[in-house]
Every structure is written in structure tokens, then in C-alpha cells.
Amino acid sequence: MAEDIDDPIEENNENEEEQLEATDSSDLGNVINVSGMYNEWFLDYASYVILERAVPHINDGLKPVQRRILHSLKELDDGRYHKVANVIGNTMKFHPHGDASIGDAMVQIGQKDLLLDCQGNWGNILTGDRAAAPRYIEVRLSKFALDVVFNAKTTEWAASYDSRGKEPVTLPVKFPLLLAQGVEGIAVGLACKMLPHNFNELIDSSIAILKNKPFTLLPDFQTGGAADFSNYNDGIRGGKVRVRAKISQTEKKSLVISEIPFGTNTSSLIDSIIKANDKGKIKIKNIEDNTSENVEINIYLPSGVSPDKTIDALYAFTDCEVSISPNSGVIENNKPKFLGVTEILKISTNQTKNLLQMELEIRKGELQEQWHFSSLEKIFIENRIYRDIEEQETMEGIIKAVYDGLAPFTKHLLRAVTDDDVNRLLEIRIKRISKFDSFKADELIKRIEDEIEEINHHLDNLVDYTIAYFKRIKEKYGKGRERKTEIKSFETIDATKVAVANTKLYVQRAEGFVGHGLKKSDAEFVADCSDIDDIIVFREDGKMMVTKISSKTFVGKNILHVAVWKKGDKRTIYNLVYQDGSTGPAMMKRFAVTSITRDKEYDLTAGSPKSKILYFSANPNGEAEVVNVQLRPRPKLKKLKFDLDFSELAIKGRSAKGNTVTKNIVSKIKLKEEGVSTLGARKIWFDDTVQRLNTEGRGELLGAFKAEDKILTVMQSGTLRLVGFNVSNHFEDDLILIEKWNPEKPLAAVYYDGEKKDYFVKRFLVEDTDKKQTFITEHSDSRLEIVSSETLPVVSVSFRKEKGKDERATEIINLNEFIAVKGFKALGNKLTPHSVKAIDIVPVEEAKAILGIEDEPEEEVVEEEVEGGESNAANPEEGSKESTEETMSTNKLTEQTESQKEKSRPPKKGKIIDPNEDTDNQISLF
């Protein structure tokens, strides 16, 4: 028996060895390189991930896992909620990639509040809280999804991964779902990021496409905020969207964040704020997260910190502003494509039209079949054809009898009678035949014909039918889906201007070191600064340099002046006297430093060896002082002292040589008299597009401002506030009036008193305080109708028609005559006892014409200019090119000693003359 058992095993082993030998010998000629295998397998894997995992299809805007979740929910749909765990299990019949990926994808769909009707804790997109476990939460398809996503008759089907079932290739979505939800996916060598858009705006844009009208489509985010879409680039790669949180000042030392940027949550936002505070970029006292249904993050500031500057710093250094780079990629015809959102919407709109056409044609075919059989049934019963089959003994005979009986009556039918039709007629029960009502049958056929006619009309006017479909969807589901993200233009925030002073700048003048890491015992404190500031350094040898602040930097020995430098600063003017070479004349100049190359050394002198600075001052507001110059005694020198007034010298470029002070050797220069600013009042503009102040001429000119001037702002809420003219100021969203404040100019206001249910007029002077003031009553129904600072405020008042009375004519009211200027807190005078329909401000020119007032010449707003002032400083670098020629000319004029030449030429303005020079015409400077 043992031998019998062993024999088969030995035979099997021998067979296996023979097969292996045969295989080895046959494969010797088919050598496959590893690189080839890698290339083939990598492409297969990459194609699979792109097509089957990460990138949405253009037809329905869904990734495979999303499509399978929706199909599974439709399969389970019975109108009731289903446990998410059960839905995940059912979806795994179609998606063999684990329950975690299905669950996460389902939560993401649910949080977008469009396709799924969720119940339970599905997480919070505002706070970043995760959803509860799948066994605790429930879901069903939303009514919107049931209306627009599914139709088994227009769906293309394919076998599931194990061929045990069928799944849709794409769902017949009749809506731009991809653009509504947005999507993000990372594949192999490819990524897509499409931003969500507004539900109602997508429908409006689709209608515009069908009407061949232009449209603009921009993203909209659930989290709200404000966004700058100026570089959106239609969602194509290379574009950029800047999104900001909504930050407002609630009290003098507190801010509140009420909306957050897309892609962030309150937890991550607070973390970024705390990190910025720890790094010294911003200064905050405390931060509280009171978010529930709406975002509310309270930020409390320490004393001495500017709220406006902190808001800019939050945008510059935290996630209160984020940049998003869209990259709209889709799958079309089994290939990845990169299309703009405009093109995607056009494709989606055309697909919706085609699907509606397909549905109409399918319905028309069904109605035609229904009409056909109803007509056959009526013929069959009314003509008693069923009696012709009583004598037939075979099935063939019965069918033939029915055909013969129907033949005379089928000419008007849409198609020929088939065996299936006959079989259906033979299946009619006697009970139905006995109760057949010819009138009701005619009514049914007429209703079917009417419906077919209506469908034919829709098919003939398919565009109008599609437009009506979109309008119906908007009316049914568009409520509560208004735009949440405000479209704005953002100015670029210079981080160095808003960073708080988180470190200290020190200098070792003799050794030539500057930085924030120098030992306090060996260094001199300069100023508080931030660790991203630039610093400007002037040395005694006439050299200048701008460098980035660091722990310790060598900038050259014998440092004369060091300070924090701001790019584009035209207000800081440097006054300088230097000696040109070891024996050359003393020269003087005034200049600003607005732009430089960092770490490059600049020579402020004429370039002669051994030049040195004799006097230097930095003036933050363009001050021009008077200095006393003392000369070294020498024979025949008449005067050893004289005064120099820098205000008589024009501001020129940094590289200008300057004007000659004296050819004698200067012993000492000391300050005699502090200077005043030679720069005039500063022109300020308000740019309404970004709601910021500027000095570059963008927007509306508010006026020329001096240090003590203020800006008046009035809000629609009935509040006003006086603010400074700092360009970092932030203004409220409901700003309706902004202008330079004139303390003697009254404001006129018309408002509705919610308590008294009447309109009131008041005129008042604005008090000088930096607190926000409310000038209407504080009732919840009180509202501001009109506010005007015009010298002639005139309003037109129209009235509602009262029952039983004639319609009252519109009244024109001059508010100056209606009420005198009263106190700020005065209630005002009642506007009218009649029912008001509308109140409008009358334009000044029209008001003058109505009241018969002639125009008076207006005074222009002119920026004050002082000789050598801002007009010269507007471009400090201007004049640098011709500075050498100008300086040489000035030197020649100064050096001329021939009396006849001097007599024939009056002294030039701005020219400094040494009192010891032998000239007939002298200008006394002392």
C-alpha cells in the first residue's frame, strides 16, 4: 500500500520539474528590463488614481467614491434616515477601498449642505470639530438630490468591480454640481482644486449662457469672509485668490472676528494668532473663542496698541488672510483636462439641456406607447373583437383573429400592431371589458395627446424649457443660499509697517556694529523695532547703508546715525553739511532716502578722498533748522561765525553734490534754532474699492491734512466717528459719508424714530472726540434715511396715497430753513405728519436751481507748499543726474570774485554765501 501511495507523488514531482524546465527554456528569449516594468506599472497606477480616485468627472462633477455613495443612498432610499454605518457597508459593494475613505467622503458631502439630509453630529466646518462615529449619525438624500441627480432611464450603467452588481458610469446631474460643491484632489503627478461657487449665481450664469449673455462667475465660501478675485484667472492654474477674515473693532481695545477664510477653522486661526503673538509679530492681551452657530473670536489688546494696525498685522502674519491657488482639472472622455470654470459651466449647462431633451423624448415615447395601446384597447372593446376569438381553438388562430379584427381600424395608429400588443389585448379581463367607458377612454387619449403636444412644444423650444427648469430649481431651493463671501479688492499690506516692535535696536558706534543681539553694557540703545525691519546707517566718512536688522551686523566704524528705515518714506528729510576732501569746501544738502539696494554702500559726499560729515540731522517731518557755523581762524578772515538756515535750501536727490557753504575750514557747526516742517499739509485720498486711505491719488480727494486735522466718518447705522488720517485706518462696511472734518460745519440728518413711528430732522455740530457716537434714537426700529454735510441740504419727500384723499404732491424741503443747528443729542423736528413713501437728497445744483440760488466761486483745495518743501521732495531722486552740473555751476558762482560780474548778477535764491568772501553784493545771514 505504501508503494501505491508514493508513486503518484513521485510522478507529480517529475511533471512539475519538466514544466519548470520547459518554462525556463521558453522565457530565455523574453528578457524584460526592470525600467520597462516600472514604467508600465507606474503609468497603470497613475492612470488608475487619476481616473478612479482623485479627479472628478466633468459630466456629474463627482469623484468615484462620491458617485458610489449617492448611488448607494438611492438604492437604499425609502424616505427614511439610514445609519451612516449601514450606508458605508452598502457602498462597499461598489467601492473596494475601505470604510474610512467612504465615511470621510460622506461627511464632506454632508457638510456642504446640498445633496444630503443629515441628522446627528456631522461636525462643524467653523470650529473644525469632527463628526460623530458612523453608528451614531444618520443620512438620507436631500430633496434637491432626488430632483436633479437621479434618473435611471438616462443613466449609463457599468458592472461593479466584482461584476455582482451595476453602478452608474456617471450620474445624470442636471445642475453644475462640480462648481457648486468645489473639489480638491491629489493624484499621481496631477492635482485639482476647484473652489465652490454660489448656488443662485450658478443658476443665473447658466441662464445667461442659454441667452447668450455675458456673465461673471466668482467663488463663494460657506465660511463667509471677504475675497479678492482680481487674479482668479477663471480658476485655471496660475491664478490666486486672497481670502480674509471679517475683523471689526468692538471697543477701544478689543476686536472681534465674525467670519473666517475658506479652508481655515477657528481652532487653526487662533493657533496662528497665538504663534504670531509668541513670535512678537503682534501684541494681544487675551483671545476667546465664543463660536457656536456663528463665528465669534474676541481679541483683547493691551494698552498702547493700535486696533487698526493690529488688524493689518493679523492679515499680514496670521491665517486671517490666506491665498488659494485654484487648479480646475476634470476627467473628460477618460482623460484629464484643465478647463476654466466658464468652460466647465458651459459644458454643464449644455449637458443639462441635453439631459432634459433626453427625458422629454423618453417621456414622449412612453406617452406614444400609452396612446397606442389605449387606442388599440378602445378598438378591441368597442368593436367587440374579443368575440371573434370565441370559436378559435388554437393560439395561432386567436392571434390571427385579433389581427384581422383590428386591421380595418389601425390606419391612424403611430406604428404597426405587434404580437406583444395582441398578447396585452388578450390579457384584458372580462371585468374590465364589461365596465369599459368609451367616454373616459376618449378623455384619457385626449389627455395623452395634450401632453404629447406640450412635450413637442418643449422640444421645439428647448432653450426656453431649460431656462424655466433652472428658474424652477432656483425658486424651489435657492432661498437661504445668498452669497456669503464679500467681493472686494485688497491693498497689499507692507509687513514692516504693521509689525509690532518686538525687539530693541542697539549700536556700537566706534566699533561699527548694529543689531538687536548686542550686549546692553557695551552698546547704546537706539529704538524699539521689529525683527523684520530695515535699518539705515550713516557714518562720519559720508557713507550710508540700509540693511536688514539682525542679531549683530558690521556696517563700518564711526557710526553717526542709525534708525529704522521705511521704504518710500518721503517725509523724513536729512540735513547734511560735509567737507569735500581734506582741504575742499564745506557743502550742504537736503535729501530723502526713498529707495535703495539693500546692503549697498552709498557715498553722500562728492566722492573726494578723506571727505567727512561736519553736521547731520534726521527730520521725520521735513524740519529745517538754523545752525551756527564756526570757522577756523586764519589771517584776513573777517568773520569766524555765521548762521545757515536749511529752509532756504531745496530738497534734492540723495546723490546731489549740494551747495557750497564756505571754502574756509570749518571748526564747528552747532544747532542754533530748532526747525519747523517745510513740508506742507498732506493730501489724502479715499479709495472706495478697498475702503482705505492713501497718498498716491487713488479715489476721492478728502483734502490737505495737517497734524491736528481729522476725518469724519458716518455709518448707515446712525453712528459717526472722528479718526486720524493714518493710511492704516480701517473703516466699517456700512460707511456712507467720509470727509475732512470741519468743526464749524453742521451735519443734517433725516431719520426714522422706531418708538414714535415718525421721521425727524436734526442739524448739529460734530463733537471733537475719538469715541463712536450715535446721533439717532437707539430703538431697534430706528434707521437713518439721509445724512448730508452740504452747505445747502435739500430733500424731496414723496407721500403715500391716503384712503379717500387725493395724492399729495412731493415736497421740497430746505433743511437749513426747516431747523436750526441744535445740540448733538437733540431729537430734532418732526418732518411731516403725513405718511411718507420716500425721502431723497436733492443734488446741490438742482437744489440751487429750485431755490433760485446763484453759484458762488469755489475755493480750490491746494496743498500748502513752502520753498524747499514737498514739491521738491516729491521725487527726491530727481535732480541726481544733473546734480554734478548744477553743483559745479553753484560752485563757480560762489567762487567768482570779480566785482563787475557780481554787480551785474543778483544773488540767487537758495544760494549760500560765505560772509568772508570778497564780494560787493552780500546777503546777510546773521
In the predicted structure, residue 791 carries a pLDDT above the cut 50: yes
Q: In this predicted structure, what is the pLDDT of residue 582?
A: 86
Whole-number average pLDDT of the chain = 84
What would the pLDDT profile of 729-760 be if each residue is shown by its tens digit?
Answer: 888 888 999 999 999 999 999 999 999 999 99
Highest-confidence segment of 377-391, 498-512, 615-629, 687-701:
615-629
What would the pLDDT profile of 193-211 be if each residue is shown by its tens digit?
Answer: 999 999 999 999 999 999 9
In the predicted structure, residue 249 carries a pLDDT above the cut 60: yes
What percent of the chain is predicted at pLDDT more than 70? Answer: 86
What is the rounded distance in angstroms from the CA atom of residue 35 to the CA atom of residue 38?
5
Choose the catalytic residue: 48, 136, 161, 300.
136
Range 63-89 average pLDDT: 95
Q: In this predicted structure, what is the pLDDT of residue 188?
A: 73
In the predicted structure, residue 858 carries a pLDDT above the cut 60: no
What would the pLDDT profile of 147-189 be if each residue is shown by its tens digit?
Answer: 999 999 999 999 998 999 999 999 999 999 999 999 988 877 7
8 Å CB contact between 722 and 769: yes
Using 50, 70 and 90 to split pLDDT, how confident is the model at 890? very low
Render 57-115 in DSSP notation, one character per residue.
BTTT---HHHHHHHHHHHHH-SSS-EEHHHHHHHHTTT--S-HHHHHHHHHHHHHTTSS
CA 445 to chain centre: 58
In the predicted structure, residue 576 carries a pLDDT above the cut 90: yes
Torsion sign, CA atoms 218, 222, 228, 233: negative
Range 608-615 average pLDDT: 92
Q: In this predicted structure, what is the pLDDT of residue 882?
A: 37
Q: In this predicted structure, what is the pLDDT of residue 170?
A: 94
Q: In this predicted structure, what is the pLDDT of residue 149?
A: 96
In the predicted structure, residue 8 carries a pLDDT above the cut 60: no
Using 50, 70 and 90 to split pLDDT, how confident is the model at 30? low
In the predicted structure, residue 288 carries a pLDDT above the cut 90: yes
Structural domains of the chain in order of their starting residue, each with its CATH number? 45-210 (3.90.199.10), 240-324 (3.30.1360.40), 695-851 (no CATH)
C-alpha grid cell, residue 144 = 434637491
Q: In this predicted structure, what is the pLDDT of residue 923?
A: 31
Q: In this predicted structure, what is the pLDDT of residue 46?
A: 62
Interhelix angle 341-382/462-477, rounded to 10 degrees, is 110
Using 50, 70 and 90 to split pLDDT, how confident is the model at 540? very high
How many residues would you count in the chain? 926
CA 97 to chain centre: 37
What is the rounded distance in angstroms from the CA atom of residue 87 to the CA atom of residue 106?
9
CA 673 to chain centre: 52
What would the pLDDT profile of 395-449 be if each residue is shown by its tens digit?
Answer: 888 888 888 888 888 888 888 888 898 888 888 888 888 888 888 889 999 999 9
Extended strands (E) in 308-448: 321-324, 329-332, 335-338
What single-letter amino acid sits at 353? K
Range 487-501 average pLDDT: 79
Range 485-489 average pLDDT: 92
Range 903-913 average pLDDT: 40
Range 854-858 average pLDDT: 59
8 Å CB contact between 348 and 202: no
Range 16-35 average pLDDT: 52
C-alpha grid cell, residue 655 = 546723490
Extended strands (E) in 233-289: 240-244, 246-251, 254-259, 286-289
Range 301-319 average pLDDT: 89
Sequence-distant (6+) residues with CB within 8 A of 515 are 505, 506, 549, 550, 551, 552, 553
More confident residue, 527 or 146: 146
What is the rounded distance in angstroms from the CA atom of residue 733 to the CA atom of residue 688?
11
What is the rounded distance in angstroms from the CA atom of residue 179 to the CA atom of residue 61?
8
What is the rounded distance in angstroms from the CA atom of residue 873 to the CA atom of residue 650?
8
What is the rounded distance in angstroms from the CA atom of residue 349 to the CA atom of residue 351?
5
8 Å CB contact between 688 and 491: no
8 Å CB contact between 919 and 913: yes
Q: In this predicted structure, what is the pLDDT of residue 916?
A: 52
Return the DSSP state at 439: H
In the predicted structure, residue 278 carries a pLDDT above the cut 70: yes
Q: In this predicted structure, what is the pLDDT of residue 29?
A: 52
What is the rounded distance in angstroms from the CA atom of residue 602 to the CA atom of residue 274?
40
Range 592-602 average pLDDT: 91
What would the pLDDT profile of 347-404 be if each residue is shown by its tens digit?
Answer: 999 999 999 999 999 999 999 999 999 999 898 888 888 888 888 888 888 888 888 8
In the predicted structure, residue 2 carries a pLDDT above the cut 60: no
Q: In this predicted structure, what is the pLDDT of residue 922?
A: 33
8 Å CB contact between 305 and 728: no
Using 50, 70 and 90 to split pLDDT, how confident is the model at 15? low
Nearest to 241 by CA among 181, 197, 188, 281: 197
Using 50, 70 and 90 to split pLDDT, how confident is the model at 47? low
8 Å CB contact between 686 and 738: yes
Range 476-487 average pLDDT: 94
**Residues 345-383: b if buried by 16+ CB within 10 A, e if exposed:** bbbbbebbbebbeebbeeebeebeebbbebbbbbbbbee
Nearest to 55 by CA among 327, 352, 350, 348: 327
φ, ψ at 747 (rounded to 5°) = -100, 140
C-alpha grid cell, residue 107 = 461627511
Q: In this predicted structure, what is the pLDDT of residue 906?
A: 39
Q: Strand 486-487 to strand 226-231: parallel, antiparallel, or no bridges (unpaired)?
A: parallel
Tell me if residue 136 is catalytic. yes
Nearest to 273 by CA among 303, 240, 299: 299
8 Å CB contact between 719 and 766: no
What would the pLDDT profile of 447-473 be if each residue is shown by its tens digit?
Answer: 999 999 999 999 999 999 999 999 999
CA 15 to chain centre: 74
Number of C-beta neighbours around residue 267 at 10 A? 14
Range 17-36 average pLDDT: 53
Range 566-576 average pLDDT: 88
More confident residue, 410 or 861: 410
In the predicted structure, residue 302 carries a pLDDT above the cut 80: yes
Q: In this predicted structure, what is the pLDDT of residue 303?
A: 86
Q: In this predicted structure, what is the pLDDT of residue 97?
A: 85
What is the rounded distance in angstroms from the CA atom of residue 233 to the CA atom of residue 633?
73
Number of C-beta neighbours around residue 807 at 10 A? 11
What single-letter amino acid sits at 854? E
What is the rounded distance in angstroms from the CA atom of residue 21 to the CA atom of residue 23?
5
In the predicted structure, residue 112 carries a pLDDT above the cut 60: yes
CA–CA–CA angle 91, 94, 100 (5° rounding):
50
Using 50, 70 and 90 to split pLDDT, how confident is the model at 705? confident
Q: Strand 586-591 to strand 659-662: parallel, antiparallel, or no bridges (unpaired)?
A: antiparallel
φ, ψ at 734 (rounded to 5°) = -95, 25
In the predicted structure, residue 669 carries a pLDDT above the cut 70: yes
